[in-house]
Structure 1
Amino acid sequence: MKKIAVVTGARSEYGLLRWVIDEIHHATELQLQLIVTGGHLSPEQGLTYRCIEEDGYDIDAKVDMLLSSDCASGIAKSMGMCSIGMSDAFLHLQPDMIVVLGDRYELLPIVGTALVMRIPIAHISGGDITEGAIDNEVRNAVTMMSTLHFPGTQTSAARIGRMIGTMKNVFVVGETNLDNFLRLSLLSRNELAESLNIDLGKKWILMTYHPVTKESREKNLFDVNSLLHVLQSLGDDYEILVSKSNTDLYGSDINQLL
C-alpha cells in the first residue's frame, strides 16, 4: 500500500484539496497521510486545522512555521522553520509521494525538502499565470521540482510541457474546485443572509483583495484604502462583505485596515 502525504497550509487551498483528500482516503490501494502547516495552526487565522478534523480526517503531522511578522524577512524565516519541521515529518511518516496544490510561498520549503529527501512530488494546478505576485515564480519552481503534474486546463498543461521539456507525466484533470459545486449542498440566498446576519433586502457586494506581492507595502495599503473609500461612498443600499487576508505578505496590515 502506497503512502500518500497531502500537505495543506491554508484554509483556501484546503477547500481545493478537500475532495482529492477524500478520494485518497477511500482508495483501498492508498494510505492517506495528512500534514497541516501554515495558517491552519494560527489562532489569528482561526485554527482551521479543526475544520479538517470536523470533516472526518485524522491529521498525521502538524508543522508549526509561522512567526508573528509577515514582512518579507519574517516570511523568509517562517519558510526556514517550515523546512525544518517538514524534514522531521517526512522522516517520521516515510511517504511514498507528497501531494501539494497551487502557488503559496510555503510550497517552496515543503517541495524543496521533499526533493532533497528524494520523495516524489505531485503538483496540482501548475502552469497557471498570476500577474503582479510572486505566485508565478513559486508555482513554476514547484513545477520544475515535481514528478507528476495535474493542471486544470489544456493551456496550463502546455505551459508545463514547455517548462519541463516533455508532456510525460502531465495529466489535465480540471479544476478541483468544481467538485465543491458538484458535491456540496449550497446555501440559498435566505440561508446565507441568516448565517451572516445581513439584510436580505439590500444589494450585496463581496470584496476580496489579494496582496500584490511585487508591489510595496505602502502601495498595497493605498490600494486597499482606495477600494474601501469607494465602497463606503455607495451608501446604505448595499451590504458589503469583506474577506480577511490569509498569511500573506502584508496580510496583517491589510486586516488592520479592514
Structure 2
Amino acid sequence: MILNKKKVVFLTGTRADFGKIKSLIQILEDDPGFSPFVFVTGMHLMQKYGLTLIEIERCKFSNVQTFSNHTSETTMDLTLAKTIEGFSQYIKKVKPDLIVVHGDRVEALAGAITGSLNNILVAHIEGGEISGTIDELIRHSVSKMSHIHYVANKDAKRRLMPLGEVEKSIQIIGSPDVDIMIANKLTSI
C-alpha cells in the first residue's frame, strides 16, 4: 500500500469536458500511487441538459462530489462566483496536490482561480485554442492561472508562449477527442 498517494482533483461541468478527461481519471483510479477526485457541477446536474451526472456515476469512480453552481439568475459572473465558493470549500477538505481543468468554461476558470490562489498546482488541458468568442478569453485566463499545460498541437503551444508561459510547462498531447474515438465502448447519447 502506498502511503503518500498523490491527490488529483478533476473539475467537470459538461458532458463534453468529462468525455475528454474520463480516460485520464480512469488511469489514475487504477494506479495505486494516485487518489483521483471528481468535482461535478454545471450542466451535469441539470435535467434540461440530460442530467449527465448519470454518465459519471456509471464509471463508479471512488471519489465523486457534486455541487450545484447555478442560481435562479444564471449569468456567467454569478455562476463563476458560486463555483469558486463551492470548489474552494471542497479543496480545503481534500487538500489536493493537483487540480485538472479542461477547456474554456466558467467551471474551468473557477478551478484555475481557486487552485492558484490556494497555491495548488493547476493543469489545463486544451489551452491555446482560439474561437473568437468569450470562450477564448476564458480559456486564455485559465491558461494564465495554470502551471502545467497540455495542449493539442504546436499552434496552441505557440499561442501560450507570448502569454508568458514557460516552454517546459507546455506539453503537446494531441486532442483528447482521439481517446473518445478509439475507446472500446462509446457512451450512448
Tell me, yes or no, if structure 1 residue 66 matches structure 2 residue 66: no
Residue 56 of structure 1: CA displacement? 2.2
Residue 58 of structure 1: CA displacement? 3.4
Residue 59 to residue 49, structure 1, CA distance change in 2 (3 Å): farther
Q: Could you report, residue by residue, the CA deviation over 1:164-223 in whole angstroms, capped at 9, with x for unpaired residues?
A: 253121110110110111123469xxxxxxx99xxxxxxxxxxxxxxxxxxxxxxxxxxx
Partners of 2:26 and 2:73 in 1: how far apart? 34
Q: Which amino acid aligns with 2:58?
A: E
Residue of structure 1 equivalent to 2:26: 22
CA contact (8 A) 2:9 2:100 kept: yes
The 3-state SS of whatever aligns with 1:171 is strand
Q: Could you report, residue by residue, the CA deviation over 1:132-160 in whole angstroms, capped at 9, with x for unpaired residues?
A: x1111111111111110000101111111
Partners of 2:35 and 2:59 in 1: how far apart? 17
Q: Could you report, residue by residue, the CA deviation over 1:216-242 in whole angstroms, capped at 9, with x for unpaired residues?
A: xxxxxxxxxxxxxxxxxxxxxxxxxxx
Residue 162 of structure 1: CA displacement? 2.2
Partners of 2:166 and 2:110 in 1: how far apart? 25
The partner residue of 1:42 within 21, 28, 46 is 46
Residue 106 of structure 1: CA displacement? 2.3
Residue 10 of structure 1: CA displacement? 0.6
Residue of structure 1 equivalent to 2:116: 115
Q: Mapping of 1:119-134 within 5 angstroms?
A: 119-131=120-132, 133-134=133-134
Q: Mapping of 1:100-111 within 5 angstroms?
A: 100-111=101-112
Tell me, yes or no, if structure 1 residue 89 matches structure 2 residue 93: no
Q: Could you report, residue by residue, the CA deviation over 1:103-156 in whole angstroms, capped at 9, with x for unpaired residues?
A: 11222222111111111100000011112x111111111111111000010111
CA contact (8 A) 1:100 1:124 kept: yes
Per the normalisation by structure 1, the TM-score is 0.67
Larger RCO (CA under 8 A, 6+ residues apart): 2
Residue of structure 2 equivalent to 1:143: 143
Residue 26 of structure 1: CA displacement? 1.6
Residue 20 to residue 165, structure 1, CA distance change in 2 (3 Å): closer
Partners of 2:31 and 2:174 in 1: how far apart? 20
Q: Which amino acid aligns with 1:90?
A: I
Task: Give the RMSD, CA atoms, in angstroms.
Answer: 1.9
- Structure 2 portions without partners, runs of 5+: none
The 3-state SS of whatever aligns with 2:169 is coil
CA contact (8 A) 1:96 1:119 kept: yes
Partners of 1:50 and 1:2 in 2: how far apart? 27
Partners of 1:165 and 1:116 in 2: how far apart? 18
Q: Which amino acid aligns with 2:85?
A: I
The 3-state SS of whatever aligns with 2:8 is strand
Residue 63 of structure 1: CA displacement? 1.8
Residue 11 of structure 1: CA displacement? 0.9
Partners of 1:19 and 1:175 in 2: how far apart? 13
The 3-state SS of whatever aligns with 2:172 is coil
Query: 4+ runs of 1 displaced by more than 4 Å?
Result: none
Residue of structure 2 equivalent to 1:184: 184
- Structure 1 portions without partners, runs of 5+: 188-194, 197-258
CA contact (8 A) 1:9 1:37 kept: yes
Share of identical aligned residues, percent? 28
Per the normalisation by structure 2, the TM-score is 0.90
CA contact (8 A) 1:69 1:75 kept: no
